[in-house]
Copies of this chain bind each other. A is one copy, B any other.
């Protein structure tokens, strides 16, 4: 089968991956599942993996097939699988977990001690077939197209997970700032709108991103290329700041906003990871605010996001490309030229 594989870390996205002809994976355990991939989203994290930025955090053996945002049709199941059968359309949570370790038992399956992460620590879905397991697949409701929903497997649940943490702290009349209205941000705004009655302020440097934000439910938009975000927030909130910030960018200049825009007791959720957090301890103490790192969402959260999609509350902006064009997609995202999300479709 065809698979787009990383052979060497590189900063040149035009030669990021190589289309190889490899064997279709065999199932080896009673709980494994083989998926015929219908769609696989390309993600900023893929660029970071190609650059070698994850080698300190995750074990990687090259060559490796990338692709962690997958959906498709069940092609084969291990002998003790009961959740799905051949022919079922599914979305694939990117992490195959054990169900046995204490984090799994607490429902915190993203902290599983025996996990494999598609396209990050094990072969992913930029390929005709993907091997995963029963605990990583979610059957799709009737009428939901696997190709269309694929990016929710990571972009979607990462945005959803951050939003869910924020929503738990937001009351009607509170304000939430969303920084960055790209692949994740445009999902995050829709989730916020569906799940809370807080006022949403969207910040970005592109006018059309801000227009999209307003369409999707933002009450106010700030172009951070032109305007001083902190002043705008001070005006909007009577100098009190906002209860929650969801930072889908995570650069030095966005995290540096925290002391000036977060209200006392609030949170600055760090989702994007382009730069650093850097503040005097006194600033955190004085405002009693937190920088809260935010990982990919859990399996149960992907179920909840599928429910939001099924209700019509969240819609993805996607464009589709042949697997063969994968490096072009990589380059375009590097240059911030993709609106919404690009999905690769294997042959």
Q: Could you tell me which A residues sit within 8 Å of B by CB distance?
A: 29-31, 53, 57, 80, 82-83, 99-100, 102-111, 113-114, 134-135, 168, 171-173, 194-197, 199, 240, 250-251, 255, 263-265, 270-295, 298-300, 303-308, 311, 313
Expressed in whole angstroms, the minimum distance between the Cβ of A273 and any Cβ of chain B is 4
Task: Establish whether residues A303 and B102, one from each chain, have CB atoms under 8 Å apart when the complex forms.
Answer: yes
Task: Establish whether residues B279 and A286, one from each chain, have CB atoms under 8 Å apart when the complex forms.
Answer: no
Task: Establish whether residues B135 and A100, one from each chain, have CB atoms under 8 Å apart when the complex forms.
Answer: yes
Interface pairs (27), CB distance under 8 Å: A30-B30, A82-B100, A99-B100, A102-B300, A103-B264, A108-B265, A110-B264, A110-B288, A113-B240, A168-B168, A172-B194, A172-B304, A173-B303, A173-B306, A173-B307, A270-B284, A270-B285, A273-B280, A273-B281, A273-B284, A276-B279, A276-B281, A277-B284, A283-B293, A286-B293, A287-B293, A290-B292
**Additional A-B contact list (18), CB under 8 Å, known A105-B299, A194-B197, A284-B293:** A82-B114, A105-B109, A172-B194, A172-B195, A172-B305, A172-B313, A173-B307, A173-B308, A195-B196, A197-B308, A270-B284, A271-B285, A272-B281, A277-B281, A278-B278, A281-B293, A286-B293, A292-B292
Expressed in whole angstroms, the minimum distance between the Cβ of A20 and any Cβ of chain B is 29
When distances are taken between beta carbons in the complex, the residues of chain B under 8 Å from A197 are: 194-195, 307-308, 311, 313
When distances are taken between beta carbons in the complex, the residues of chain B under 8 Å from A113 are: 240
User: Residue on B with the closest CB to A171?
Assistant: B304
Given contacts A288-B295, A304-B173, contact A57 B282 (CB under 8 A): yes
Expressed in whole angstroms, the minimum distance between the Cβ of A300 and any Cβ of chain B is 5
Give Cα A272 to B275, complex, Å.
25
Q: Which 6 A-B pairs have the closest CB atoms?
A: A107-B107, A284-B293, A173-B307, A250-B281, A99-B99, A273-B282
The copy count of this chain in the complex is 4
Task: Establish whether residues A275 and B280, one from each chain, have CB atoms under 8 Å apart when the complex forms.
Answer: yes
Q: Which of B168, B263, B281 contacts A270 (CB 8 A)?
A: B281
Give Cα A134 to B252, complex, Å.
44
Given contacts A277-B278, A279-B276, contact A300 B82 (CB under 8 A): no
User: Residue on B with the closest CB to A251?
Assistant: B281
Expressed in whole angstroms, the minimum distance between the Cβ of A59 and any Cβ of chain B is 13
User: Residue on B with the closest CB to A286?
Assistant: B57
When distances are taken between beta carbons in the complex, the residues of chain B under 8 Å from A265 are: 108, 111
When distances are taken between beta carbons in the complex, the residues of chain B under 8 Å from A270 are: 281, 284-285
Expressed in whole angstroms, the minimum distance between the Cβ of A105 and any Cβ of chain B is 5
Expressed in whole angstroms, the minimum distance between the Cβ of A263 and any Cβ of chain B is 8
User: Residue on B with the closest CB to A252?
Assistant: B281
Task: Establish whether residues B291 and A290, one from each chain, have CB atoms under 8 Å apart when the complex forms.
Answer: yes
Give Cα A30 to B57, complex, Å.
32
When distances are taken between beta carbons in the complex, the residues of chain B under 8 Å from A135 are: 99-100, 105
Expressed in whole angstroms, the minimum distance between the Cβ of A277 and any Cβ of chain B is 6
When distances are taken between beta carbons in the complex, the residues of chain B under 8 Å from A289 are: 293
Expressed in whole angstroms, the minimum distance between the Cβ of A311 and any Cβ of chain B is 7
Q: Which of B255, B280, B293 contacts A276 (CB 8 A)?
A: B280
Task: Establish whether residues A277 and B264, one from each chain, have CB atoms under 8 Å apart when the complex forms.
Answer: no
Q: Which of B29, B171, B303, B308 contacts A80 (CB 8 A)?
A: B29
Give Cα A277 to B291, complex, Å.
10
